[in-house]
Copies of this chain bind each other. A is one copy, B any other.
Amino acid sequence: GFAKLDFHREERQGYPEVVFGEGKTVYQIIEIIKVLKARHRRILATRISPEKAAAIQKEVENLVYNETARTLFWKNAEEQTILYQGYVAVVSAGTSDLRVAEEAAVTVEAMGCEAVRICDVGVAGIHRLLDNLEIIRNATVSVVVAGMEGALPSAVGGLVSHPVIAVPTSVGYGANFGGLSALLSMINSCASGISVVNIDNGFGGGYNAALIHRMANEKRGEQQ
């Protein structure tokens, strides 16, 4: 059969199993998490409203809810959260972009990597970005989150030489067309080293960044 092809996802240390919570009932999420706990060391659930989170936490122990990111995270008690050296920079433009940036940061952490958050550094006040340049440059990879005109990834991309994962958000109004404006900006960026995920897909931004970070950095507390 196909077993030889090893299609089945092996359980790799530090890779969370991820549940997309939108459109799932509290009951369904609880059942899924219970099953996953037996086989995985880390579980991440995204798009969980505060009400759902409270109900789920009553039935499952040790779930950490992040209100901004709207995520639930669980890990085996013996498991360390951060497994790798170095860090991923999660850079965001405005206050309203925070929920997406936080989804990215939480995903990075769920993948066993450290996330350093740099917030409110949109291009309309470029000095705020420059003030944080050292910390961004020293990251392995940046996740850059912006709505409205979505210009921040271009500015960051021009200042760093590592890969930038750009996350457009639906923040804005009028001719932003639910994030299309930011998405087009990022796809058309004149800076090199930028690639883009879906509108509001903080999870995707964080997941891509962590995949890169893990390959590029050694594990903490061990010599590879």
- Chain A residues in the interface with B (C-beta under 8 A): 1-2, 5, 7-9, 12, 18, 22-24, 93-96, 122-127, 129-131, 133, 140, 148-151, 154-155, 157-159, 161-163, 165, 168, 170, 172-201, 203-204, 207-208, 211-212, 215-216
**A184–B186 touching, CB < 8 Å:** no
Chain B residue at minimum C-beta to C-beta distance from A166? B195
Which residues of the other chain, B, contact A211 by a CB distance below 8 angstroms?
161-163, 193
**B193–A195 touching, CB < 8 Å:** no
Which residues of the other chain, B, contact A124 by a CB distance below 8 angstroms?
154-155, 157-158, 189-192
Complex: A211 Cα to B123 Cα, angstroms: 21
**A127–B170 touching, CB < 8 Å:** no
Chain B residue at minimum C-beta to C-beta distance from A125? B158
Complex: A216 Cα to B140 Cα, angstroms: 10
**B188–A200 touching, CB < 8 Å:** no
Min CB distance A157 to B, Å, is 6
**B162–A155 touching, CB < 8 Å:** no
Identify which of B1, B151, B216 contacts A123 (C-beta below 8 A). B151
Which residues of the other chain, B, contact A151 by a CB distance below 8 angstroms?
123, 149-151, 154-155, 185
Which residues of the other chain, B, contact A133 by a CB distance below 8 angstroms?
5
Identify which of B149, B190, B195 contacts A190 (C-beta below 8 A). B149
